[in-house]
């Protein structure tokens, strides 16, 4: 069923590395932002950090989709379930 659909032809998808941005932001929070002072707009710094990471994450994911050659060409990403096996 995947015949005739566009493929990537072995091109690298380096933009997927940008998906590490949200992981690093959330993962670094306890080490970098685990303090109450300074307050940002009246909230503790840790909460401000998490709110910032929550705002930045969808933007990073959107950018990954825009720069991904598979997304731009409409290429299929076959999954083992597509093979029609048992």
pLDDT at 10: 61
Write the DSSP symbol of residue 66. Answer: H
79 or 7: which leads in pLDDT = 79
Helices 20-32 and 45-67 sit at what angle, rounded to 10 degrees? 170
pTM more than 0.75? no
pLDDT grade for 78, boundaries at 50, 70 and 90? low
pLDDT at 59: 94
Give the 3-state secondary structure of residue 8: coil
pLDDT at 55: 95
Residue 27 has pLDDT above 80, yes or no: yes
pLDDT at 71: 73
């Amino acid at each position: 069923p995947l015949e005739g659909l566009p493929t990537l032809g072995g091109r690298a998808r380096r933009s997927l590395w940008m998906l590490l941005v949200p992981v690093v932001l959330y993962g670094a929070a306890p080490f970098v932002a685990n303090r109450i002072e300074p307050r940002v707009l009246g909230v503790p710094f840790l909460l401000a950090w998490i709110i910032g990471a929550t705002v930045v994450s969808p933007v990073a994911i959107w950018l990954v989709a825009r720069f991904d050659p598979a997304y731009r060409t409409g290429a299929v990403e076959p999954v083992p379930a597509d093979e029609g096996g048992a």
